[in-house]
């Protein structure tokens, strides 16, 4: 199979490189180490006859340092571009200087494919869509190829074959380019065959390694609780897990701080992506509890104290996932599983199916809490700290989690206090690394995947021209599926203007943007610690969270303040910007509960008797130190037995008798109501306490329920 013709971008004139890329190169050359700066580049370039530089040229470049925002490197690159220097020549000069950072900047100049085309096996007459979505500045172009031939009219992100024919079978690839570079998508195989051929192929595949028809993941991290202690680790845990799962070809949606209705609607949207054979992974980090064998995820708006009606039942979500006949259901719960004594509701749930390929990874065992560890201002949950080290390994998922459990068991910080529990009904050797191989795909399934992909589009970078001659770059970056960074930078200023400032303001009230935390000089000042290294420098940054609450288009104002010499009055100009609904805002998660809400159960409230609900045969493994094993099965409530106070608190995996240096995640405190005080247990997170363990010299422990 031969590749399509690749017209190299190296022949592109240097003068046609996008301005943001030239600015970035200028910054790198201006602050380069000796031997790698703009003068060294000029010396290399000057050795070429047609781009020879005079001493006057170098002097003019050098004088740019006297201007407020002048750059000798910018002046040099413009000069080289005007004299016909090409990108490939610039690369040669930089290679001679061994300026690796500038070379990387050129090789990754803004085009990034975020949705790859998937291979498909279909029947003649169906509607087939091959999708390739990319981001780039200022915009990107698409061209589809079938083997080495261009596809007529294949110039959009979606290649639609309607109806598909037998001779459409083959390998397809998409070339995406912008002004300065290009990338190719991965190859997608389209196989159009009749029913007999497909039946034969599927019989042959049954003897091979299992595969997924698709992989989708929903990651939720709740931190900023309205009525409960704040958490720190979910932000980092969700971010790191997102990056790992994307390397395994998962379509990942990562969301921070969801209310009850937002969590339910996010799960409902996630369920729409599940079909037969799909691998579905749901990860939750935040407050949680477990009653009568049912686990509950706590939204950020849950009252204090909360009950099951205010939370999402894990077993109910899993049941809805099973109804989609998924190839693998992985549920990773990074939360506490202590008993919520204030909630006497008993959920009567239908039994889970036997052949469901379920894998539960509980960050801690029943009746115990889960911890988070803090270092250098950021925090990881103990579970994620060890999971991320092994997640990319090509092993059966239960084997991988077994090894994570063993790693956690060696951790001195939580030994005897937190132990991973694995529950599985996995009957096949399925792994997160299994390849994606689509069988018969319906147009509805493709449309749903496309809708989810579109809900992760960022606004295009743009340049705003003001009447005074100032030009501002407005750029956007995604930190999570519902968190976006806006950065602004002045890229052009007339010399007669002595002071110039630009900032963004007037955001929708839905987003609740604090003006004191907007337009900061570093991403960290806005609360964005995770993507700061990927953002351009010398900008003002504003972090917009909770994009799921956006009801209308995102409209804001860019304000420009500037001054002329000798005039005390500050001049102002304003421009309104409309960037549509970015990222997850398109899905409308802010709406009220939908009819297919994932928690519609039969409840028995305040019932002193517990009816044992029959469940599917699931293998349960407890990884507990030998000195801390329970005398009986944890969390078992016998039928027709009164649940007295002495029985409600399982002893298994509790932290009774452990070191006082570890703060307990669940403490019984007095809950103050406006009328009276009563002894209602609520969850709390104490201040972090320094621990002098061998694992780290400055590790801090706190609770991450």
CA distances to 235, 246, 267, 424 from 384, in Å = 11, 16, 22, 19
Burial class (CB in 10 A: 0-12, 13-18, 19+), 160: middle
Choosing from 287, 456, 610, 666, the catalytic residue is: 287
Number of residues assigned to the chain: 705
Q: Which one is catalytic: 336, 365, 598, 655?
A: 336
Which three-class secondary structure state does DSSP give residue 229?
coil
Per the CB < 8 A criterion, the answer to whether 585 and 325 are in contact is no
| DSSP string for residues in 170-199 | EEEEEEEE-SS-EEE---EEEEE--HHHHH
C-alpha to C-alpha distances, 306 to 24, 294, 366, 679, nearest whole angstrom:
51, 15, 19, 15
**Is 336 part of the annotated catalytic residue set?**
yes
Adjacent-strand bridge partners of 177 = 141, 182
Provide the token pair at 83.
Answer: 């004299």
Cβ(449)–Cβ(214) below 8 Å: yes
Q: Where does 249-335 have alpha helices with state H? A: 260-272, 314-322
Two structure tokens written together for 514: 């604090």
Provide the H-helix boundaries in 367-412: 382-387, 397-409
DSSP bridge pairs for 172: 146, 188
Residue 90 to residue 106: CA distance in whole angstroms: 10
By the 8 A CB rule, do 665 and 705 touch? Answer: yes
**196-204 — which CB contacts under 8 Å span 24+ positions?**
198/121, 198/123, 198/439, 198/440, 201/121, 202/439
Query: What single-letter DSSP state applies at residue 243?
Result: H
Give CA torsion, residues 93, 99, 103, 106, to 10 deg. -80
Sequence-separated (6 or more) residues with CB below 8 Å from residue 253: 217, 218, 219, 266, 270, 452, 456, 481, 584
Q: Tell me the C-alpha to C-alpha distance, in Å, between residue 652 and each of 32, 145, 276, 295, 627.
A: 59, 60, 38, 16, 12
Q: What is the SS3 assignment for 320-333?
A: HHHCCCCCEEEEEE
SS3 at position 521 = coil
In the chain, % helix, strand, coil (3-state, to 5) comes to 25, 25, 50
Distance CA 570, CA 593 (A): 50
The torsion defined by the Cα of 14, 20, 22 and 26, in degrees rounded to 10, comes to: 180
287 is catalytic: yes
Hey, which residues are catalytic here? 287, 336
């Amino acid at each position: 199979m031969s590749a399509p013709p690749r017209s190299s971008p190296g022949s592109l004139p240097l003068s046609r490189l996008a301005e943001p890329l030239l600015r970035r190169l200028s910054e790198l050359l201006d602050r380069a180490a000796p031997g790698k700066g703009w003068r060294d580049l000029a010396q290399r370039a000057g050795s070429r006859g047609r781009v020879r530089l005079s001493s006057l040229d170098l002097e003019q470049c050098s004088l740019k340092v006297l201007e407020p925002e002048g750059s000798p490197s910018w002046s040099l690159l413009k000069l080289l571009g005007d004299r016909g220097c090409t990108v490939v020549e610039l690369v040669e000069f930089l290679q001679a200087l061994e300026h690796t950072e500038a070379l990387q900047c050129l090789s990754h100049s803004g085009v990034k494919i975020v949705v790859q085309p998937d291979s498909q096996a279909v029947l003649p007459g169906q509607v087939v869509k091959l999708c390739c979505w990319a981001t780039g500045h200022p915009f990107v172009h698409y061209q589809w190829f079938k083997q080495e031939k261009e596809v007529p009219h294949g110039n959009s992100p979606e290649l639609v074959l309607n109806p598909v024919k037998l001779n459409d079978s083959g390998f397809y690839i998409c070339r995406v380019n912008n002004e300065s570079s290009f990338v190719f998508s991965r190859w997608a195989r389209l196989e159009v065959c009749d029913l007999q051929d497909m039946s034969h192929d599927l019989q042959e595949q049954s003897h091979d390694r299992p595969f997924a028809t698709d992989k989708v993941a929903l990651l939720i991290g709740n931190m900023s609780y309205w009525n409960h202690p704040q958490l720190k680790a979910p932000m980092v845990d969700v971010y790191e897990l997102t990056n790992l799962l994307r390397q395994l070809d998962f379509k990942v949606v990562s969301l921070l701080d969801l209310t009850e209705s937002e969590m339910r609607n996010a799960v409902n949207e996630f369920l729409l992506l599940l079909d037969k054979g799909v691998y579905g992974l749901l990860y939750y980090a935040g407050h949680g509890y477990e009653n009568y064998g049912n686990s509950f995820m706590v939204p950020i708006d849950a009252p204090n104290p909360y009950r099951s009606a205010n939370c999402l039942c894990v077993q109910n979500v899993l049941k809805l996932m099973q109804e989609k006949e998924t190839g693998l259901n992985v549920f990773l719960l990074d939360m506490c599983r202590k008993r919520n004594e204030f909630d006497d509701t008993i959920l009567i749930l239908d039994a889970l199916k036997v052949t469901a390929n379920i894998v539960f990874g509980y960050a801690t065992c029943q009746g115990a809490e889960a911890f988070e560890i803090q270092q250098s201002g950021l925090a990881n949950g103990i579970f994620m700290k060890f999971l991320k080290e092994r997640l990319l390994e090509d092993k059966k998922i239960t084997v991988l989690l077994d090894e994570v459990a063993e790693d956690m068991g060696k951790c001195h910080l939580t030994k005897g206090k937190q132990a991973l529990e694995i529950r599985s009904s996995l009957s096949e050797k399925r792994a997160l690394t299994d390849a994606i191989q689509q069988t018969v795909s319906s147009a509805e399934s493709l449309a749903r995947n496309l809708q989810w992909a579109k809900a992760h589009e960022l606004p295009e970078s743009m340049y705003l021209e003001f009447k005074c001659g100032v030009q501002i770059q407005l750029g956007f970056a995604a930190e999570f599926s519902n968190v976006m960074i806006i950065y602004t930078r002045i890229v052009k200023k007339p010399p007669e203007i002595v002071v110039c400032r630009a900032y963004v303001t007037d955001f929708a009230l839905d987003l609740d943007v604090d003006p004191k935390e907007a337009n900061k000089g570093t991403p960290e000042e806005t609360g964005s610690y995770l993507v700061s290294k990927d953002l351009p420098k010398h900008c003002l940054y504003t972090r917009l969270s909770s994009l799921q609450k956006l009801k209308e288009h995102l409209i804001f104002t860019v304000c420009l303040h500037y001054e002329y010499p000798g005039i005390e009055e500050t001049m102002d100009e304003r421009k309104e910007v409309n960037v549509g609904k970015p990222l997850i805002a398109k899905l409308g998660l802010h709406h009220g509960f939908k009819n297919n809400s994932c928690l519609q159960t039969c409840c028995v409230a305040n019932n002193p008797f517990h009816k044992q609900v029959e469940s599917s045969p699931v293998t349960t493994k407890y990884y507990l130190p030998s000195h801390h094993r329970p005398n009986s099965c944890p969390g078992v409530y016998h039928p027709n037995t009164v649940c007295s106070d002495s029985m409600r608190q399982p002893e298994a995996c509790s932290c009774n008798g452990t070191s006082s240096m570890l703060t307990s995640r669940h403490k019984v405190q007095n809950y103050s109501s406006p009328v009276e005080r009563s002894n209602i247990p609520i969850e709390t997170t104490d201040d972090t306490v320094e621990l002098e363990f061998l694992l780290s010299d400055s590790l801090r422990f706190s609770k991450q329920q």
